[in-house]
Structure 1
Amino acid sequence: MKPPSQLPPRPDFETIEAAARDAGATAARGDVFTLIGQLSFSWSNNESLLVYFIMLLLGCDREAALIVFGTLNTSRARVDLVQRLARVKLTDRALSGEIKRLMTRFDTGTRLRNDLLHAMFTVDAAGHITHTHAMRLEERAKGLRFGAAKSMDSERLEAIRGEIRAMNELNRDLWTFLPRLEASLRACPRGRSREDGGA
Structure 2
Amino acid sequence: MSAPETSAKTTEFETFLNLVGRLNYTWTNTESLLIHMIAGLAGVTKEVATVIFLTLNTSRARLDLVERLAKLKADRPDLKDEILSLTSAMQKALKLKNKYNHCIYSFDNEGRNASTVLMRISDLKGRIEYGKTSPINTREIGLVKDTILKTQTVNRKLWDFFERHRFPV
- Provide TM-score, normalisation by structure 2: 0.88
Instruction: Give me the CA root mean square deviation.
Output: 1.9
Task: Say which of 145, 149, 162 aligns to 1:161.
Answer: 145
Checking the alignment, whether the CA contact within 8 Å between 1:28 and 1:128 is kept in structure 2 is: no
**Map of 1:24-173 to 2, 5 A cutoff?**
24=7, 26-89=10-73, 91-141=75-125, 143-173=127-157
Q: What is the number of residues matched between the two proteins?
A: 164
Tell me which residue corresponds to 1:23: 6
Structure exhibiting the larger radius of gyration computed from Cα positions: 1
Question: What letter is aligned with 2:162?
Answer: L
Distance in 2, Cα, partners of 1:182 & 1:87: 19
Distance in 1, Cα, partners of 2:165 & 2:112: 46
Distance in 2, Cα, partners of 1:90 & 1:175: 23
Question: What letter is aligned with 1:74?
Answer: T
Checking the alignment, whether the CA contact within 8 Å between 2:38 and 2:49 is kept in structure 1 is: yes
Question: What letter is aligned with 1:139?
Answer: D
Gap runs ≥5 in structure 2:
none
Gap runs ≥5 in structure 1:
1-20, 186-199
Distance in 1, Cα, partners of 2:107 & 2:121: 22
What is the identity percentage for the equivalent residue pairs of Structure 1 and Structure 2?
31
